[in-house]
Amino acid sequence: MCGIVGYVGRQKASTILIEGLKRLEYRGYDSAGLAVLQGDGIELAKKTGRVGNLVKEAKKHRFTGTTGISHTRWATHGGVTDANAHPHVSSDGRIALVHNGVIENYLSIKKFLIGKGYTFSSETDTEVLCNLIAYHFAKATKTGDESHFLGSVRKALRHAEGTYGIAVICTEAPGELVAARKGSPLILGVGDNEFIVASDVAALISHTQNVVYLKDGEVVHITPKEFSITTLDEEDVEAVVDRVTWDIEAAELNGHAHFMEKEIFEQPAALENSMRGRFSEDGSTAKFGGLNLGPVEFRQIDRFVFLGCGTAWHACLVAEHLIERFARVPVEADYASEFRYRNGPLSGNPLFFVMSQSGETIDTLGALREAKRKGYKVLAINNTVGSTIARETDGGIYQHVGPEIGVASTKAFTSQLLIGAMLALHVARMRDMSFADGVEYVNALKGVPDLVRRVLEQAPHIKAIAQRYAHHTDFLFLGRLSLFPIALEGALKLKEISYIHAEGYPAAEMKHGPIALISEKCPSVFLVPKSEIFNKLLSSIQEVKARRGPTIVIATEGCEFPPGLADELITIPDCHEAVLPIVATIPVQLLSYYIACARGCDVDKPRNLAKSVTVE
């Protein structure tokens, strides 16, 4: 949600800032802008729409400076206009700022600043913060305070309530940049005589793999030669430089039309990476290095609570099913955003897991903090090393699937399903699951990349189906038990990337209401595994056909359907229950992807959305 980049070095800042924005565009694409220190002033270009529009706009300027900031916006305060685009420049022209987050008390600060003669040209909270820094800077200039640029940023931030990742430049501090964070991610890339700050590693990885993950409340002051980190209270912080383990290749399209397509097809490798080194030597259970829980402690857990948002919540629902089914331990899966305010009663010794690809989702972070506040241990299933969630939990499991850039989550989702299945095994083997069943389960998990490959081979068949159905405006996705969350996921994917109204339902619930939607205009996608409820699912399909509803059936190979029941059939390999949700996910991902392509939608940047939702 909004992406920021800042550069200090010896190269032309504008090139690096725009390149960084292109890599962060998935975080927001309402407008984009950049500001560079040049001569005695600030050269500024900003434009509504994609970074492409900014590139055209920037050609009207002559950017030569080597210090600057840039931003790609997902609008919160103020509409999508050029004036509301970042960077914002203070009314005295001295300070320019980019911001990811929300300054909640901006109205009272604005009133104060108007009283001091500051003027505003946008409706944003960001411009208020920018002018507040300018106000402190002007005051410090009068008193001759030496470190007044850094000091004035710190002073302003002490008054700011809300969340921010910011980068600031000042006309009177050439070659300097100040950046700070609270509740929004910010990473410092440490290059060879150059520094880049960004909301995400993707924006700086082509320049350096050495990074410092800034923490909430930290402020970094950068000059062309060095950087230093302090707190808002001016205490020194020792910087820990980490090395990013993936390189720029992972953030490139590599011949794919979209990141979503690339990430769908990367899933066999991503699943291998999520499993690597996580099975016991005897091959009968899963092991995790980062849980920070001994077997005795683990054995005492009487309930698991899984929290997440959107797609990650669907993965929580599958984990609930598998842990209850195989380990017979009660599990609750809740929306993180609801859990946080619901204040429901909890059992004596629950263990919390938060699931989050980005590790920055504010609702999930809020739920994590609430559970911790109540004294519970919280672990994370997370894909982003150094993320806020990774840092604030008591331990957890990294997904290791590499950067996920497509706004619609795909490989991160199946990896979360896999880790949920591995956890179910881990817990089950500590309870009643036999060695032999454990070995069978492990072998099933190890085989999942190949099963996924087999489903991916059907892409041309699924594409042809998608093209036949792309004109419909309503879809139902129906599944039962562990495939009900996959029906939800199928509906969510279709909604978000193709703007088609879709609903996911437990198949048997259809007759309690959604059946009223069925007509020849509303196709139903059924998830039909070989199982003891196969005949029940068949009845649900019959009910749809009886009402002339088109049916797209995703079924286990070998399942037989009476003639005319499945208008379209997509098969998935027969597999262990633990991996069934993963295997069944691939066709719904491909179906949504190809439908969106057939409708000419911008798959990687769906309207109104942004990856990593850092506002409540």
Q: Which residues are catalytic?
A: 2, 611
The closest of 7, 480, 26, 444 to 262, measured between CA atoms, is 26
We find the least distance from the C-beta atom of residue 380 to ligand F6R, in angstroms, to be 10
Residue nearer to ligand F6R on the CB measure, 1 or 250:
1
Question: Minimum Å distance from CB 409 to ligand F6R?
Answer: 3
Residues 477, 500 contacting (CB under 8 angstroms): no
φ and ψ of 465, to 5 deg: -65, -45
Closest CA to 496 of 608, 582, 414: 608
Structure tokens at 46: 């900003």
β-sheet with 210-213: strand ranges across: 41-48, 31-38, 67-73, 3-8, 195-198, 187-190, 210-213, 242-243
CB nearer to ligand F6R: pick between 288 and 593: 593
Binding site for ligand F6R (CB under 6 A): 309-312, 356-358, 361, 364, 408-409, 492, 496, 612-613
Q: Which helix (H) or strand (E) holds 452?
A: helix 435-456
Given the complex with ligand F6R, which of 90 and 361 has the nearer CB atom? 361
Nearest residue (CB) to ligand F6R, 273 versus 409: 409
In angstroms, give the least distance from the CB of 616 to ligand F6R. 12
Q: Are 481 and 581 in contact (CB under 8 A)?
A: no
- Cα 158 versus chain centre, distance: 29
- Alpha-carbon dihedral 512, 514, 516, 518, rounded to 10 degrees: -130
Nearer to ligand F6R, 27 or 73 (CB): 27
- Residue 614 CB, nearest approach to ligand F6R (Å): 10
Biggest distance spanned by C-alpha atoms of the chain: 87
Nearest to ligand F6R of 409, 585 (CB atom): 409
- The residue of the chain with the least Cβ separation from ligand F6R equals 310
The 8-class DSSP code of residue 183 comes to B
- Exposure string of 452-476, with b = 16+ CB inside 10 Å and e = fewer, is bebbbebbeebbebbeebbebeebb
Closest distance between ligand F6R and the C-beta of residue 382, in Å?
A: 8
Residue nearer to ligand F6R on the CB measure, 25 or 568? 25
Q: Least distance in Å: CB of 574 to ligand F6R?
A: 28
CB of 510 to ligand F6R, least distance (A): 24
Q: Compute the least distance from the CB of residue 43 to ligand F6R, in Å.
A: 35
371, 352 in Cβ contact below 8 A? yes
Please identify, using beta-carbon distances, which residue of 90 and 364 lies nearer to ligand F6R: 364
Q: How far is the CB of 39 from ligand F6R (least distance, A)?
A: 42
Shorter beta-carbon distance to ligand F6R: residue 31 or 357:
357
Residue 366 CA: distances (Å) to CA of 123, 359, 380 = 27, 12, 13
Q: What torsion, rounded to 10 degrees, do the Cα atoms 586, 587, 593, 595 define? A: -170
Distance between CA atoms of residues 431 and 427, nearest Å: 7
- Kind and range of the H or E run holding 21: helix 13-24
User: What letter would DSSP give residue 327?
Assistant: I
Ordered alpha helix ranges (H), 98-180? 106-115, 125-143, 148-159
Which residue type, as a one-letter code, is found at position 63?
F
Q: Which of 50, 152, 29 shows the shortest CA–CA distance to 95? A: 152
